[in-house]
Structure 1
Amino acid sequence: MALWRRPRGTGEDPLDAALVDRVRAILALGGMAHADLPDGVQQVRLKVMEARAKEGGAPRDTAAWCAVVASNVAADWHRARRRRERLDERLIALRPWETVQRGGEEASALALTVAEGLEALPLEQRQVVVLRFYADLPLARIAEALEIPEGTVKSRLHTAMRVMRKRLRAEEVV
């Protein structure tokens, strides 16, 4: 049973079966979840194909190079998992004890005020707030994603946070 499919229009697979097994083992030893191993192997395969497409060609020792790339993929997987866990913890910590009724549903006063505050922000400011605090992206990645200078991201974020703080204080939620 193949865990991957060869892309159409390409020649042979850059990783032979033995190398795929070695990459899977390195990913597993790196702590990557079993369910995510096929995705990790695909990432390594993609890196090999990208390396071969560059001017320098394939690495001299593909097996050693794949081992290093697999280790890096496992480390990236852990970083992403920790980032998601921190985001979940922050969202849980925001849950205040007080709840209010709105439209027949129970919701926290803070959550309602934040949601309304986000809706009131201009689109440009709302984008940076959501990408920074909900997607947990660093400022450089936000700037890259929105194709704007990092200083503009900082400025928009600062302005949006000032407006949100003012709104939360006015509503006496915090």
Structure 2
Amino acid sequence: MDAVLVDRVRAVLALGGVPYAELQDGVQQVGLRLLEARAKGDPPRSPGAWCAVVATRVAADWHRARRRDERLGERLTALPAPPGGGGEEDRLLALAVADGLEALPEKQRQVLVLRFYADLPVARIAEELGVPEGTVKSRLHAAVRAMRERLHTDEVV
């Protein structure tokens, strides 16, 4: 994308409520979608207008993901205490895990959730994501290390 399109996309994302720190990621998403459209042999007639529409959708997706993460935190705090005690400590741990997941990059969070929450084996995750098993293992290792560091830093564990 040229500089004018990048500026337009950044403006649309900012007006859409995407935080400043996330703007570059949004610009990259829009640029990637533009490249995909061109690779399919269906380039937009008006790249400026097309990029503005796609940037609006990216901003909406960002807000949906944020609301989803907030609802996850609310559900975790509303969980009843397990039988046999634990109660408040378990809720604090659940909140720390939710915060840690939110802080992870999307690709690491994705493999961590698929492995430990959906209980999928590495081979199945690789198949679902369309990436090599080594990539899944690498992302999983980095995600677990980051979560461990985060939990120990927060002094939850």
Range into which the TM-score falls when normalised by the shorter chain: 0.5 to 0.7
Q: Which has the higher helix share?
A: 2
1:53 equivalent in alignment to 2:39: yes
| 1:27–1:40 CA contact under 8 A, matched in 2 | yes
Give TM-score, length-normalised by structure 2. Answer: 0.55
Q: CA deviation at 1:145?
A: 3.8
2:52 — aligned with what?
Answer: 67
Q: Which amino acid in 2 is paired with 1:23?
A: V
RMSD in angstroms over aligned alpha carbons?
Answer: 3.3
2:17 — aligned with what?
Answer: 31
* Partners of 2:90 and 2:38 in 1: CA distance: 54
Structure 2 alignment gaps of length 5 or more? 94-113, 119-124, 130-157
Q: Percent identity?
A: 60
2:8 to 10, 17, 22: 22
Query: Kindly tell me: are residues 78 and 43 of structure 1, through their superposed partners in 2, closer, same or farther at Cα, counting changes over 3 Å?
Result: same
2:117 to 130, 133, 137: 130
* Partners of 1:129 and 1:39 in 2: CA distance: 27
Q: Which runs of 4+ in 1 moved over 2 A?
A: 95-101, 106-109, 127-131
Q: CA deviation at 1:107?
A: 4.2
Q: CA deviation at 1:130?
A: 2.3
Structure with the greater relative contact order (CA < 8 A, sep ≥ 6): 1 or 2?
A: 2
| 1:99–1:107 CA contact under 8 A, matched in 2 | no
Structure 1 alignment gaps of length 5 or more? 1-14, 112-126, 132-141, 147-174
Q: Which amino acid in 2 is paired with 1:29?
A: L
1:61-140 mapped onto 2 (5 Å cutoff): 61-94=46-79, 96=81, 99-100=85-86, 107-108=89-90, 130-131=117-118
* Partners of 1:100 and 1:79 in 2: CA distance: 32
* Partners of 2:20 and 2:26 in 1: CA distance: 10
Q: CA deviation at 1:36?
A: 0.5
Aligned pair count reads 101
